[in-house]
Amino acid sequence: DPPPPYVSTTPTIPPPRPHGVARPPFPLELPSIAALKSQRVILASASPRRKQILSQLFPKVEIIPSTFAEDLPKSLGGFDYVLQTAVAKCREVYGREIDNVEAERERGEVGVVIAADTIVMSAAGQILEKPRSEAQHVAVLKSLRDESRIGSEMNPGAGIAVGGAGAGWHKVYTALAIMRPMTTAMDPGYVLTTHVEETSVKFDPDITDDLIVAYVKTREGADKAGGYGMQGLGSLLVERIEGSWDNVVGMPLRATLVLIEKILVDEQEEL
């Protein structure tokens, strides 16, 4: 297939597994997962990477992408920007599906709606989302490499400081928002819980312009925040990370399970 365009509303779908690949592990036998077995688990995202990660918990996850414009002002700052975007995505899909009588009749009641949003923040504090062109893609990756190079020159041999702050390290934030309907008629009728996961990433300061250009031409990072995919060839650009690896991919699985368990506790405790 041709490489994905830089501006497209059509999600890229990974190819099917080849014949003969070993079966996946048996599902986790946890009360929180069993409680949702007969209900709809909805992922409010078209990301094939998020679907793949979440499918480890829920093999029958339902994909309903959000139509939220994702146009909040960057002046909010990275933490609030990514969190408010994830919540808006979750609310939009939840509001659309909670009264969808036809879907309820065919697929059951809504159990949970899970939304996520990921951004990359440069060491200088700039929010980096998906590149809009090949030239911008190259420029973004070079800037992350150059920040890492400057950090290494300022602190030769230094690692990362306590709390994930260090010269030349950029940050990846993924916000999770999960909603479920309440079983009682209490206002507002739903429960919402959120979390923001943070991972620090340091590019290899010695990667060449040729490698960056060659990577951009693969288009692997064309649809990813920050312009690189940690789970693929983009790992060639990365020297070290501090924090959750799958957070950089876009769906921190441990944090997702913790939120699901939290949102399924007794309603009176939540209130």
Mean pLDDT to the nearest integer, 237-262: 96
Q: Has domain 31-270 been given CATH number 3.90.950.10?
A: yes
As a whole number of angstroms, the distance between CA 224 and CA 50 comes to 12
pLDDT band at 269 (very low <50, low <70, confident <90, very high): low
The upper half-sphere exposure of residue 124, i.e. CA atoms within 13 Å in the direction of its Cβ, equals: 10
Could you check whether the bond before residue 188 is cis, i.e. omega within 30 degrees of 0? yes
Q: Are 266 and 181 in contact (CB under 8 A)?
A: no
pLDDT at position 55 over 80: yes
Q: Which of 71, 117, 223, 246 is catalytic?
A: 117
Amino acid at 250: G
Q: According to the model, what pLDDT value does residue 188 have?
A: 72
DSSP string across 13-71: -PPPPPTTPPPPPPPP--HHHHHTTTSEEEE----HHHHHHHTTT-TTPEE--------
What are the boundaries of each domain within the chain? 31-270
pTM over the 0.75 mark: yes
Q: Could you tell me the end-to-end alpha-carbon distance of the chain, in angstroms, rounded to an integer?
A: 51
Would you state the structure tokens that stand for residue 47, as one six-digit string?
């990301």
Looking at the chain, the whole-number percentage of residues with pLDDT higher than 70 is 83
Does the annotation count 117 as an active-site position? yes
CA distance 222 to 226: 9
Give 162's pLDDT tier (boundaries 50, 70, 90). Answer: very low
Mean pLDDT, range 87-107, rounded to an integer? 92
pLDDT at 163: 42
**In the prediction, which pLDDT does 20 show?**
66
pLDDT attached to residue 248 = 95
